[in-house]
Amino acid sequence: MSAAILRDKATGFQRYRRTMTMLRFLSAMLLGFTLLTASLPAQAASAVVTVNGTPVTDVQLAQRLALHKIEGKGNRTAALNELINEVLQIQEAERLGYTVSEAEIDNAVLDVARQIKVSASNLSKILTDNGVPMSTLRARLKASLAWSRVTQQVVSARVNVSEADIDAKAKAELTAANSFDYILKEVLFIGGNASARTGQANKYRKSFKGCDSAVELSLSYTDAAVRDIGRRHATQFPDALANELAKLNVGGITKPRVVEGGVSMLAVCAKETSQDTTYIANNIRQETGSAGMKAEADKYLAELKAKAQIIKG
């Protein structure tokens, strides 16, 4: 074999080796780039603030802002403060050993759906259509449930309600209109067109002769029912209804009122003066306790916030 042929073969072999080395290098680069890309999240989230080591990300903030927009409230500062508070609330609940299950959050979601009169699936669609994942609402509800446990077990001990003050306030709210005890029957015209049912109720009212004949009179009407309400104090009714009842004698009946499921009237079967403040006091106690609980809960959260390590990202 000539020297020229050998040289040509050697040169070709060197070119082949250089080509294969370059291909291996490019393959390694491509594999490294692929692995790096695969390891990156689709949307890198960065911490806007860190609360005792727990980050609140820009993605969370954007989603909470979108939720606030649906609710017609808030701004960036309000949304961020809400998220910080929720981190503190969950941290405190966990420190005290209180947990919230997924089932409890599911029930809370259903409650929200019922409040706005939509199904759970429609609620989810409303949220996602406005850029809010269901996880955003669930996070808020989880914090709310956790904080409720903290306030019930810890904060409630801080609330003091003066029974003497409640009694004095209840007596001050007694009026001539709400100082009666009644025994009542309800006459209810069920379903149908409210206007037509009101017309029937007014006709019944004109013929009404007292509680003893209430049921017999109702038999002349379609879908009319009479039920015993029993003993009720005036303070158990809204002011307008209490005022109307106060003007009636035994054997009287109130004007028709449209209620859920039909049209209702209350018939007075017995009536006597009674300055019972039980229901007024219960309402005052509940309102006072709720206001006190909220004030103490807010104070408790402010204390947690003052002690927390909150670092802006």
* Domain CATH for 55: 1.10.4030.10
Same domain (yes/no): 154, 51? yes
Beta strands in 246-305 (DSSP E): 257-259, 262-273
Q: Helix, strand or coil for residue 229?
A: strand
213 in a domain, yes or no?
A: yes
pLDDT of residue 284: 67
104 in a domain, yes or no?
A: yes
Q: Count Cα atoms within 13 angstroms, Cβ side, for 148.
A: 11
Contact between 174 and 239 under an 8 Å Cβ cutoff? The reply is no
pLDDT of residue 161: 62
Predicted model pTM: 0.54
Which residue type does 197 have?
R
Same domain (yes/no): 36, 53? no
Same domain (yes/no): 30, 53? no
147 in a domain, yes or no?
A: yes
pLDDT of residue 13: 39
265 in a domain, yes or no?
A: yes
**Domain range enclosing 97:** 47-158+301-312
282 in a domain, yes or no?
A: no
Same domain (yes/no): 185, 245? yes
Same domain (yes/no): 104, 25? no
pLDDT of residue 8: 43
Q: What is the mean pLDDT of each run of 10 residues along the chain (313 residues)?
A: 40 43 38 36 74 94 93 89 95 94 93 90 92 94 92 74 70 78 95 89 95 94 93 90 94 94 94 80 68 82 93 86
- Tokens 């109307």 identify what position? 244
Same domain (yes/no): 243, 207? yes
Instruction: Locate 131 and state its tokens.
Output: 């850029």
Beta strands in the chain (DSSP E): 47-51, 54-57, 180-190, 224-233, 257-259, 262-273, 310-312
pLDDT of residue 294: 82
Same domain (yes/no): 193, 230? yes
289 in a domain, yes or no?
A: no
What is the tally of structural domains in the chain? 3
166 in a domain, yes or no?
A: no
pLDDT of residue 163: 67
Same domain (yes/no): 36, 51? no
244 in a domain, yes or no?
A: yes
d(CA 161, CA 292): 8
Residues ≥6 apart with Cβ < 8 Å to 100? 93, 142, 145, 146, 149
Where residue 247 sits, what CATH number does that domain have? 3.10.50.40
